[in-house]
Chain A
Amino acid sequence: MARDWTRRDVLKMGKGALVAAGLLSLYPLTRYLGSREDAVASPIISFKGELKKGAPWQNIPQTRVWLRRVSGGYQAILATCTHLGCEVRYYPEQREWRCPCHGSVYDEDGRPIRGPAPLPLPRVAVQPAGNGSLRIDTSRKLN
């Protein structure tokens, strides 16, 4: 039998839907409010792979750390512009680091040569960790 829908019925249904939506939002709300601030991410990054002597800086994917091998060991540099913190990239053909934000340019060794950057790109500690991998401590700045 067809039901006669009155305005009151429809409004009641709307009220039920509101209550249901409210209850459903409790889960994301408690998850959102109950979450801890992110724990400090580890400053340690490890790299396993081949670095040729004399080859240009090589980026470790998903990080701002770039590595190269020089006579006597390895060097690690952070690709964070010293002007306002944009991520810079190394261009091996020009042997330069360039910042996409305000046009700072650094030479191969990370010294600022053009643009607003006031300081050289930070070098960080890197050492072999046995088992053929390198261990980079981005919290230990060398310059």
Chain B
Amino acid sequence: MSQKRGFLNHIRPHGVSEKAMSFGYTFCLGGVSFLAFIVLGLTGILLMFHYLPGAKSGYASVTTLASVIPFGGLIRNLHFWAGQVMVVSVSLHMVRVVRTKSYRPPKEWNWLVGMSLLVLTLVLDFTGYLLRGSQESGAAAAVAVHILTLLPGIGRPLAQMFLGEVSAANSSTLMVYVWHCVALPFLALWLQMFHFWKIRKDGGVRPL
């Protein structure tokens, strides 16, 4: 028998316990989150073709996208709703893990990975809200900057690094754009792959 290597072969488990196969054990919440993430990635790439960050162009390009570009409204709404679904399903997934006590050894490291993914999901959701460039986004950006600068010493550099020159009048900066569209999603994707692989290693649940 030939030795199969590579990530995809690693992710197939040797065996799966019958209990873990039952729908009521996981409610597929992690799977739903991953599906939402894939939808977000695909529609996000499509949105990038027509979206322009910036004080003047952010909100205007979203409006154009949603009202003028053919199927733009559909793609924008898919992105928005997949984002909403992901925040909800990721949170419920965490509740499920607590309920089935799946955070206990040997799965304690994957719990921490999951926590990081929860934070990433919320930050992605928040930066997406900023990129809409509406007045509420501006207010949210101002609040975020003020909260971050409460951290002594590192607050201001952190705000500069993650949000750029955001203000009440401009939340859709290039900084927020790159974090939201490139850096954070790839980090989340990488962590998710690790998360799935670790599930198998720890005696995992349902096969994909």
Contact = CB atoms under 8 A, between A and B. Distances in A.
A32 B72 contact: yes
Contacts of A72: none
A101 interface: yes
B70 interface: yes
For chain A, what secondary structure do more than half of its interface residues adopt (helix, strand, loop), or is it mixed? loop
A130 interface: no
Nearest to B74: A28
Interface in A29-65: 29, 31-33, 35, 37-38
A38 B68 CA distance: 7
Contacts of A28: 70-71, 74
Interface residues of A, number: 12
B123 interface: no
Contacts of B161: none
A84 interface: yes
Nearest to B47: A32
Given A84-B168, A84-B169, A31 B71 contact: yes
Interface in B128-159: 135, 138
B135 A32 contact: no
B49 A33 contact: yes
Contacts of B50: 37
B64 A37 contact: yes
Given A38-B64, A84-B135, A32 B69 contact: yes
Contacts of A101: 135
Nearest to B69: A35
Interface in B46-90: 46, 49-50, 64, 68-72, 74-75
B82 to A, nearest CB: 16
A13 interface: no
Contacts of B49: 32-33
Contact of B46 (A32, A38, A86): A32
Contacts of A37: 50, 64
Contacts of A85: 135
A110 to B, nearest CB: 21
Contact of B135 (A29, A31, A86): A86
B75 A32 contact: yes
A34 to B, nearest CB: 8
B141 to A, nearest CB: 13
Interface in A77-101: 84-86, 101
A33 B46 CA distance: 8
A84 B46 contact: no
Contacts of B138: 84
Nearest to A28: B71
B46 to A, nearest CB: 7
The 8 closest A-B pairs by CB, nearest first: A31-B70, A28-B71, A38-B68, A32-B71, A35-B69, A38-B64, A35-B70, A84-B135
28 contacts: A28-B70, A28-B71, A28-B74, A29-B46, A29-B71, A31-B70, A32-B46, A32-B49, A32-B69, A32-B70, A32-B71, A32-B75, A33-B46, A33-B49, A35-B68, A35-B69, A35-B70, A35-B72, A37-B50, A37-B64, A38-B64, A38-B68, A84-B135, A84-B138, A84-B168, A84-B169, A85-B135, A86-B135
Interface of A: 28-29, 31-33, 35, 37-38, 84-86, 101
